[in-house]
Amino acid sequence: MDRKPVELVRVPKEERYYDREEVLGRDAASVFPTEARKAAAAGAAGLAELLGANKKFISETELEEIQSNRGTEDGSVVADKPLAQILREAKEAKDAAFQDQWKQMKQGKNRPLDEEELEFIDSVAATEAARVRAARAEEESELAAFHAAQQGGGGGGGGLPGTMIGPAGPPEEQQPGPGMRSK
């Protein structure tokens, strides 16, 4: 028996195509295509990238190339993160800045008041309000007495009842004050 060598024929593997967003996730270029076009138009090398970035489907070889360029097994990289991750990181950074600012505010002169400090401020406010009420009541009583004296006396004394106008006795000697000479 005569054996003939059989020629081996390699059948090329049919290339598969994947949805770009499904495999790589949404990135800023897919969400903001006009901004991606502007950025790509700025550089001559960006034109080829622009054409590739706007394709909805990518081939298996292109996917492998992108993943190898990114340098990680899952294809994630800092420059081409999915939009959700970019937004999450921005929110975390904003929250961290707010928490830091809140901690600083609680330490300095703007910190919230303690219970004792609040009680002290309330007591000071209450005594001030009582002093103002007492002064107002005294003023009103004096004003009422003045009106009563005006109505009852007519033109006699011209003052409050029980008060005299002018000196009642011998003049008092004045004490020399600051800036006055003694006699």
Question: pLDDT for 126-173, tens place per residue?
Answer: 999 999 999 999 999 999 999 999 998 755 555 555 555 555 555 565
User: Where do the structural domains in the chain lie, given as residue ranges?
Assistant: 17-81, 83-111, 113-152
Alpha-helical regions (H) of 20-158:
20-24, 28-31, 33-42, 46-53, 60-70, 83-107, 115-153
pTM of the predicted model as reported, rounded to 2 decimal places: 0.29
How many whole angstroms from its chain centre is CA 155? 69
Contact at 8 Å (CB) between 153 and 165? no
Greater confidence (29 vs 161) lies with 29
The band of 46, judged by pLDDT with boundaries at 50, 70 and 90, is very low
Residue 151 CA to chain centroid, in angstroms?
Answer: 64
Pairwise pLDDT comparison (36 vs 138), residue with the higher score? 138
Kindly report, residue by residue over 55-107, the tens digit of the pLDDT: 677 777 887 787 777 655 554 445 567 888 889 999 999 999 999 888 877 77
Task: Kindly give the interhelix angle for 46-53 and 33-42, rounded to the nearest 10 degrees.
Answer: 160
The tokens describing 177, both together, are 């004050």
pLDDT reported for residue 1 = 65
31 Cβ contact partners less than 8 Å away, ≥ 6 residues apart = 83
pLDDT for the residue numbered 35: 76
